[in-house]
Each structure stands twice: as C-alpha cells, then as structure tokens.
Structure 1
Amino acid sequence: MANTTNEGFVNLTDENSTLLAQDEFTSNVFVQFTICLFYLTIFILGVFGNALVCYVVVRNHQMHTVTNFFITNLAVSDVLLCILAVPFTPMYTFIGRWIFGNSLCHLVPYAQGVSVYISTLTLTSIAIDRFLVIIYPFHPRMKIETCLAIIIGIWTVALLLTLPYGIYMSLEEPNTYCEEHWPSQRFRMVFSSFTSILQFVVPLFVIAFCYICVSIKLNDRARSKPGTKSSRREEADRERKQRTNRMLIAMVTIFGVCWLPLNIVNIVDDFNDSTNHWPYYRLSFFIVHCLAMSSTCYNPFLYAWLNDNFRKEFKQVLPCFSRMSTDFTPQTTDPYKSEKLYNGNDTVQDSFLPRFMSKTDSTMPSENIPLQTTTTQTFQPSERPLNESTDVEDVLL
C-alpha cells in the first residue's frame, strides 16, 4: 500500500516480492524480532491506554463533557488503528503473502484508512474547540448535542472518503497478494495527493494555528493586568503559563513528527515506483510506520493522563498507579488550591483561588471573583467568561 490511509502494508507485487528474501535487514531474524517487539509494545500500550480512557468516560456520568467525548472518539479510533494496522503489517510483510482471506483484504485496509481519518479529524476538532473557548471566552460553549453531531460527521466523512480503498483492493492469485487495482494511474495519484492533504497537511496547519493563537492569547492575558496580583499569584500564573505552552508545543510537535515521515514515504512511493526496489525501502517503511503508530500511545497521555479529572478516575480504576499519577500532577505554589467550577454545559473546570482569602472578602481583586459552592450553582455560558482566575489547563488538557 502506498498511501496514508492504507499505510498498514508494504507493496508486495510480483516484481518486488523477491526483494523480501534479498533484503538482508528485514529478512534477518534479529531485525524481525526487534520490529515485532516494537509493534507488540505499541499494540499493548495503545490498546490498554485508549481502552482505559473509554472506560473511565463511560463509567462516570460526570465525565460526559464535550472535550471528553472528543478524547473518547480519539481513543476509539486509536484502538481501531492498533488492532487493524499494528498486527497485520509485520505479519503480511514477513510472511510474504496474504493469508487472511478475500474479505479481510478489502476490510482491513478500509478500516485502517477510516481510523486514520477519524484520529486526525478528531485531533483537529479538539484544537478548534480549545481555540474557541480561549479566544472567545464570552461565546457559549459547544453543546453536547453539537459535539455528538460533529463526531457522527467525522465518522461519516471518514467512511465515505476511504471507500475507494475498500473497493479497489483485491486478492491476487496464485501468489496471494492483497493489492490495489485502480482504474488508472492518474486517478490513483490524484486520490493519493488529495488524501495526504486532507489527512495530514490540513489538520497539521489547523492544529498549529489554533494552538499558536491560544498560546499568544494566554501570554497577552497574563500581561494585561500588571500590578493587580501578588508575587505569589504571579509566580503561580507564570508556572501555569509555561506548563501550558510546553504542552501546546508538545501536541503540535508529536502530531507532526509522528505522521510527517510516513506521509513523505507514501508520497514518494506514489509518484516514484522505483522506490520499491531500494534495498532499504522496507526497513525505512517499518521505522516510519512504527513512529506513526506510536501516536496511539502518546494520545492518551497528552489528552487524558495530564488532565486532573481523567487522572483521578485512573487512580480509582488502577490504584497501583496512584503514586505514578501523583508524580505527574502539575504543581502550583502553596497558597493556591484547585476548586471546581461549572460552565454552561455543566462541565467541570478548575479555578486556582488563594487559600488565605475568604470567599466573601470584598478586597479580593476583581479577577478573583468569589464563587458560591459549585455543587448547587451553575452558570450560563454567557455569564461566566474564561478569565485569568480560571484554570485554562482543564480546557486545554
């Protein structure tokens, strides 16, 4: 396969299938063992981490929020990717032929393409949602119904755009290769280019744009009211801003680093068939493919584990990880504690408030407006803007 959507396979046509035996790297037992070990690690961590994310959201009704539904959809697509792309890739390549039947020859590449689309489009939706929350704090938050409609739309688009890969896959006999058979080479190249742009280029630019704008907005907000905060408050805000900026950079960087090499290999392979005859092609493919598949392991950590609400649920489900969770808990300065606020969607967010200040203290700065007990009071989206006293990390992470 020579495209991002069905990146799970290496081409095994009649001409280049003999290279499998001649490739001293991928035919070496130690190399095969190492590659399989990498794939096995990705499979276990990816399935376990993402399944855990899905479980904690399903079991707790309070976790049913817009951001968490997007994260759950991302986890579902990553589980699908681990199950369908990770095990079939080394088995098909090392065995040298397709042994899984005609039905799976159509279904597996199709499902792989669907899961990649869902993953990248969901990451884009998460970035856009965070962009709207931070940049337009007075605008009503996205409703749960809208979030579910977007998720259904993502699945529909993914299923439709990837359909040609399910149609044009066929099982070749007698060598039993599962290969693409397009109506024409031009159609294949156009569709390949369209897929790469829509699957990687557009999401990368949108995600980068959203998080850059969010970072700039947070920096401007931190400088907008000089002299209104104590030195301790300024230190806490500065630490939180630096932590948030690092996380935003990590989200963009990991997405680009994981998927860019595979897209480059696929594009070069689509427009230059001679790359299949390069002795190091298979080894290069496995390296970039493992890197892309490893994103399924990073996503639960970036989008769930670093979130306080998810981490608390993980500690309840997996008590043995309680100490590890504590080690990863973001630290703030002592005078501040985290209290929960409810926004217009009844979703929980954190607000760092001084421990030494009374909730009825009239001398409190205007940015730290006293709040009533959150278990009995809710706010309309237009009534509670996102301000400096709000812990924006709960929205971002």
Structure 2
Amino acid sequence: MTSDESEQNYLHHVLSWLETANKSGRLSFTEPFVRPSLNYVYPLFVLLFATVGVIGVAGNAAMVFVITRRRLFHDQTFFLMGNLALSNIIKCIFAMPITVANLLIQNWLFGSFICFFLPMLQTFPVYASFLTFLVIAIDRYRLIVHPFKSRLPAGLCVIAVWVAAVCTVLPYAIYIKYIDLGATLGYDFEGVGICYVAMEVRIEEYIRALFVTLYVMPLAVIAFLYVRISAELKSREATTISIHFAAPNSHRSGSTAATAAARELIDHAYKASSAWPPAAAAATSPRLEGSPGGASRDSAVRIRSYAATERSTQDSDDDLDLAKEKRTQNYLITMTTVFAMCWCPINILILVAYFVHENDTNEESYDITYITFCWFAYLSTCTTPVLFASWRMSNAAKDRLRGYFRFSNRRHNHNGGQRRHFHQKHYMNRSSCCNIFEEQMIMDRRSISHEGDNV
C-alpha cells in the first residue's frame, strides 16, 4: 500500500468518525457514548452479559475448586478440564468486559495498547479451549483404544495449548490500526482514538485460515476420535456380556463328566489365585470326595472360585469400568458439542462480515445480530461447569435438586430403581457378582450337598 493510499484511508476514517459523532449530538467526545443503533437495547445486553459473567466466574471457580479439593487433577482428563475452567475464567474476567464495551461504546477510549491487544485477548482463550477439547479426545483415544500406550502428559499438553493459542493470534497486530484523534484534532479529542481493521491487507484470508485450522479441523478430528472410542466401548461391553452369560449356561448340563470337568477347572483356577493356601489344600483334599463336610467345603471353594474367575475374566478382557467410561464419554461429547454450537454463529458471522457492506440501512440489524451472537458464544462459559456439576453429582444430590424444582420424585425413584435393578441383573463390576451368578452358585451348592449326602 502506498503512502497516498494510507493518507486517504486515514482521512476516510477520521471523517466517518466525525460524521457519526455529529449524528449523536455529543458535545464532549472524551466521554463514552453508546452507539446509536444500540441506544434502546443496550441495558438488556448489559444485563445479559453481566449474568453470564457472574455465573461463568462462579461456576468455573467452583469447578477448579472441586478438581483441586478432591484431587481429581491426578487424572489427565480432569487436569485438562481444569484448564478449560481457567480459559473460561479468563474470558469472563478480561475478554468479555472489554468486548462488551467495544460493541456498545461508539468512541474508542482505551488507548493504543488495548486496540492492538483486544483481538488477541478475545480469541486466544477460545482457541485454547478448542485445543484442550482436542487434547482430551486424543488422550481418551489412547486410553480406550490403545490401552498399552502411555497417556499424554497433561502438564506439558496444557503449556503447549496456551503457547499455540497465543502464537496463532499474534498476526492480529499486523491488521489493526490506531488513529490518535487528540494528536490530530486538538485538545478537545485528547484520549479519543479510532481503532479499526486494515481491510486492504487481506485479513479475510487470515480469518478464513483460522476458522479452518482452529475450528473445523479440530472438531472433525474430535468427532472421528469419539466415534472410534464409542465403537470400542460397545465392543468391550458386548464381549463382557457374552463371557458373563456363557459361564452359567455351561454348568447346567446334567452329565457327570461335565460336572467333574467343571469342578476340576474351577479348582485349578482357584489354586492359581493368590488366595489359595497349599497347606490347607493338602489337609482338606481327602474330605472333598465323600463327607458332607467335604461337600460344603467344596461348595465354598466353588463360590470363591466363581468370584475369582469372573474378576480375573473382567480384569483381563475389560480393564476399565465400562459404565464409568461410557458416562464420561457422553458428558465429554455433550460439552464439546455445546461449546462448538455456541461459537459457531459468531464464527460464521465474522467470515461473512468481510463480504457484507455495512451502511445506514443495515447498521442497526448488523450491530444487534453481532452482539447477540457474542453473548451466545460467551454462554459456553456457563454450560461447561453446569455439565461438569451434573457429571460429578451423585444420584441422591440430583434427586434433591429435582425436588427443589418440584419434579416428581416418586416417578424418578421408581424409574431409578428399575434402572438399578437392570444393571444389577445384567452387569457385574469389579467388586461384586451379579445376581444370576449368585443364583447359580446356590444351585451348585445344593447339588453338591445332595451328591455328598448320597455318597
């Protein structure tokens, strides 16, 4: 750009600003005044942004407190969730107030430093959040799909996320220009300036590149990883259920050979466990053949063998708590989806803003649309801690919370009881056996006792 073009652009911005200021009827330009297009609706937006800011700061601070107090940061996922809360706090305390002031106030009173720093302050916490969601998805993919690989170092990942976010927005300073009206027009304009974007430097290409590399591509990678993780969890769940239900059916045969083979297999599995005492085995082995005492002792061994065999089966085929991992998966997918939906409208509007000519006919509608989309974007600072609270909240606390809002506790308790009964019937965790195996153990103990009596 030549010097003549720079001078013409400079004069154009100064004259446009003076024309706008003249329409507002202001006598003192050193005091802030609201944009004419937002003159009647700005109290509503101030209230909306203030509400989001208070809830966002309180919710994310509580989120950091819970992660720290309960020492959840030892898990990489919760450590990265704490980084999300930190980025949300930065948005609410630093980025959002200056953004709202810039959108509502017509004259720029914040100086040259804020003029150059504002675009970076507005965007780098957002990009840090997107990259954090991407790191969480990669870490969980390695944990679920490739469990033998080590997990990502959360501390180094957080440092890399913030460095990448800051370096990405540094070129914004090239496209920002500042005009000091006090130095140009005299003392009456002392402290007043014009902060604008130099359109002639092709900033739209830079904005388009940021949209693709830091919004579209991370979301595509996150979606792919979560689809793979969900498929892996479903596969493990199906394998676990088939193993658990195959064991009891194999003992329902009435043949003596099958019973003896099953008993020998169970005794061998129990001997292989760490709880088997060789001396006790040698002392009790003669009684396992004939006496009722031996039969009862054999039944006790069989009961313990069932539990040990099922626990070893689950530990070998499913080292993770499937119910817990599925719950974590659902909440992380919901958080990422809500965050992306909140920031999608403003990103689309920024992309098309460089192709829309703003004039007196569409100025009011454009300003209202822009500030509305900004509020909707910052609403994500409230949704993340709310979803985190729902994730970590116990069922009893959720029941009490529903009672505060006058929901039907009776129907919820009934449905909750049915769900708990279903899980007890069809799922076994590491610490307890499901009811179907307990019933089978009782049947085996009765049959063995009956055989001992006959002998």
- Could you say if the C-alpha distance between residues 116 and 106 of structure 1 is closer, same or farther in structure 2, counting changes exceeding 3 Å? same
- Shift, 1:261, TM fit: 0.9
Tell me which residue corresponds to 2:349: 265
Secondary structure of the structure 1 residue equivalent to 2:178? strand
Tell me which residue corresponds to 1:169: 176
- Could you say if the C-alpha distance between residues 162 and 275 of structure 1 is closer, same or farther in structure 2, counting changes exceeding 3 Å? farther
Tell me which residue corresponds to 2:235: 220
Tell me which residue corresponds to 2:386: 301
- Could you say if the C-alpha distance between residues 58 and 105 of structure 1 is closer, same or farther in structure 2, counting changes exceeding 3 Å? farther
Tell me which residue corresponds to 2:73: 63
**Larger deviation, residues 237-246 vs 261-270:** 237-246
Structure of higher CA gyration radius: 2
Q: Alignment partner for residue 367 of structure 2, among 282, 299, 302? A: 282
**Larger deviation, residues 249-258 vs 46-55:** 249-258
TM-score (norm 1): 0.66
CA–CA separation in structure 2 for the residues paired with 1:209 and 1:276: 45
Instruction: Please tell me whether residue 82 in structure 1 is matched to residue 92 in structure 2.
Output: yes
CA–CA separation in structure 1 for the residues paired with 2:228 and 2:198: 43
CA–CA separation in structure 1 for the residues paired with 2:360 and 2:221: 33
CA–CA separation in structure 1 for the residues paired with 2:134 and 2:86: 16
Query: Does structure 2 retain, via aligned residues, the 8 Å contact 1:258–1:294?
Result: yes
Q: After TM superposition, list the pairs within 5 Å mapping 1:229-240 onto structure 2.
A: 229=244
Tell me which residue corresponds to 2:376: 291
Secondary structure of the structure 2 residue equivalent to 1:137? coil
- Could you say if the C-alpha distance between residues 123 and 15 of structure 1 is closer, same or farther in structure 2, counting changes exceeding 3 Å? farther
Secondary structure of the structure 2 residue equivalent to 1:333? helix
Q: Alignment partner for residue 201 of structure 2, among 152, 176, 185? A: 185
- Could you say if the C-alpha distance between residues 27 and 252 of structure 1 is closer, same or farther in structure 2, counting changes exceeding 3 Å? same
Query: Does structure 2 retain, via aligned residues, the 8 Å contact 1:204–1:255?
Result: no
CA–CA separation in structure 2 for the residues paired with 1:239 and 1:148: 27
- Could you say if the C-alpha distance between residues 131 and 275 of structure 1 is closer, same or farther in structure 2, counting changes exceeding 3 Å? farther
- Could you say if the C-alpha distance between residues 271 and 82 of structure 1 is closer, same or farther in structure 2, counting changes exceeding 3 Å? same
Structure possessing the higher relative contact order (Cα contacts under 8 Å, 6 or more residues apart):
1
User: Structure 1, residues 347-366: CA drift from partner, whole Å, max 9, x if none?
Assistant: xxxx94565669xx9x99xx
Q: Alignment partner for residue 27 of structure 1, among 8, 19, 39? A: 39
Instruction: Please tell me whether residue 52 in structure 1 is matched to residue 62 in structure 2.
Output: yes
Instruction: Please tell me whether residue 147 in structure 1 is matched to residue 154 in structure 2.
Output: yes
- Could you say if the C-alpha distance between residues 275 and 61 of structure 1 is closer, same or farther in structure 2, counting changes exceeding 3 Å? farther
Give the letter for the 2:178 counterpart: L
Tell me which residue corresponds to 1:250: 334
CA–CA separation in structure 2 for the residues paired with 1:325 and 1:106: 48
Secondary structure of the structure 1 residue equivalent to 2:196? strand
Instruction: Please tell me whether residue 43 in structure 1 is matched to residue 60 in structure 2.
Output: no
Q: After TM superposition, list the pairs within 5 Å mapping 1:69-148 onto structure 2.
A: 69-142=79-152, 146-148=153-155
CA–CA separation in structure 2 for the residues paired with 1:15 and 1:352: 70
Query: Does structure 1 retain, via aligned residues, the 8 Å contact 2:176–2:195?
Result: yes
Query: Does structure 2 retain, via aligned residues, the 8 Å contact 1:200–1:259?
Result: no
Query: Does structure 2 retain, via aligned residues, the 8 Å contact 1:189–1:271?
Result: no
Identity of aligned residues (%): 28
CA–CA separation in structure 1 for the residues paired with 2:115 and 2:231: 47
Query: Does structure 2 retain, via aligned residues, the 8 Å contact 1:275–1:281?
Result: no
- Could you say if the C-alpha distance between residues 322 and 219 of structure 1 is closer, same or farther in structure 2, counting changes exceeding 3 Å? closer
- Shift, 1:222, TM fit: 2.6
Query: Does structure 1 retain, via aligned residues, the 8 Å contact 2:208–2:351?
Result: yes
User: Structure 1, residues 19-77: CA drift from partner, whole Å, max 9, x if none?
Assistant: 9969876221xx21221121111101111111222233344545332112211111111
User: Structure 1, residues 142-187: CA drift from partner, whole Å, max 9, x if none?
Assistant: 3xxx2211111111111111112245434323262322337x432x
User: Structure 1, residues 265-304: CA drift from partner, whole Å, max 9, x if none?
Assistant: 00001344448962311111112111111111112233x3
Q: CA RMSD in A?
A: 4.1
TM-score (norm 2): 0.59
Q: Alignment partner for residue 195 of structure 1, among 210, 216, 222? A: 210
User: Structure 1, residues 52-104: CA drift from partner, whole Å, max 9, x if none?
Assistant: 22233344545332112211111111111112332222322322122222222
- Could you say if the C-alpha distance between residues 43 and 117 of structure 1 is closer, same or farther in structure 2, counting changes exceeding 3 Å? same
User: Structure 1, residues 302-347: CA drift from partner, whole Å, max 9, x if none?
Assistant: 3x32443xx48xx9xxxx999449999x96615879xxxxxxxxxx
Give the letter for the 1:211 counterpart: Y
Q: Alignment partner for residue 420 of structure 2, among 333, 345, 357? A: 333
- Whichever structure has more helix as a proportion of its residues is 2
Equivalenced residues, count:
316
- Could you say if the C-alpha distance between residues 212 and 176 of structure 1 is closer, same or farther in structure 2, counting changes exceeding 3 Å? same
Structure 2: which 5+ runs fail to align? 1-12, 25-33, 182-191, 246-320, 405-411, 442-455
Q: After TM superposition, list the pairs within 5 Å mapping 1:364-379 onto structure 2.
A: none
